[in-house]
Amino acid sequence: MFTGLISDVGEVVLRSGGQFTIECSYDPASIPVGASIACDGVCLTATSVSPSALGGGSRFTADASNETLTKTTLDGWRTGHAVNLERPLKSGDELGGHIVTGHVDGRALIVGVTGDGDSQRFLLEAPEHLAMYLAPKGSVALDGTSLTVNEVAGTRFGVNLIPHTLTATTWGRKKPGDEVNLEVDLFARYVARLMEFRP
């Protein structure tokens, strides 16, 4: 389980089919084999860990299933791709974002980016079957980042990125036409499911 607060930006240094090797600043001693790491919002399992070849930090390898490659942006990852990373929530940690599972529901398309003071507003298009879970002032995880939904109109919705988020994550590099991993709010999903059984 995660919070959507990005703690590092890693880089894909090797890809072989559905296997990815990612360079990051995490201490290798802190990542046991089998550990979960959210990579652009996708919960992946570290299958091997070693000290970084660049000095400092670590390098870990993770495998993605065909299901994951199909539903997320991972199939488009290439060497040099920057990845938002988050370690799992520990008991007693501050829950500063919202509850994020790392189980991506689909991909959203960035259709517009506009300046808003020092911040940037992103307009995105969600898959039709996921739009029902988005609500103004609700939470959403996009590429693993916990964000607040500003407005919703049909399948389109907007989020605002403050300067810190733009520089501490990969969001400062994103542009219209890019796709991002979308995980809807866990509570919204369960409320919608319960509503199906209302008499």
> With pLDDT > 70 as the criterion, what percentage of the chain qualifies?
98
Q: Are 193 and 187 in contact (CB under 8 A)?
A: no
Amino acid of residue 134: L
Q: Which CATH class is domain 106-195?
A: mainly beta
Q: What CA–CA distance (Å, rounded) separates 78 from 32?
A: 25
Average pLDDT on 175-183 reads: 98
Domain ranges of the chain: 8-86, 106-195
Average pLDDT score over the chain: 94
Percent of the chain clearing pLDDT 90 (strictly above): 84
pLDDT single digits (tens) 18-66: 999 999 999 999 999 999 999 999 999 999 999 998 778 999 999 999 9
Please tell me the predicted confidence (pLDDT) of residue 186: 79
Residue 150 makes CB contacts below 8 A (sequence gap 6+) with: 121, 136, 157, 158, 159, 160
Instruction: Please compute the mean of the pLDDT values over residues 115-135 and round it to a whole number.
Output: 96
Neighbours of 12 (CB within 10 A): 18
Q: What is the pTM of this model?
A: 0.93
Q: Higher model confidence: residue 42 or residue 95?
A: 42
Domain 8-86 and domain 106-195 have a common topology: yes
Thinking of the domain 8-86, which architecture would CATH place it in?
Beta Barrel (2.40)
Per-residue pLDDT at 115: 96
**pLDDT higher than threshold 90 for residue 98:** no
5-16 residue pLDDT tens: 999 999 999 999
Q: Where are the alpha helices (DSSP H) in the chain?
A: 66-71, 128-131, 163-168, 186-195
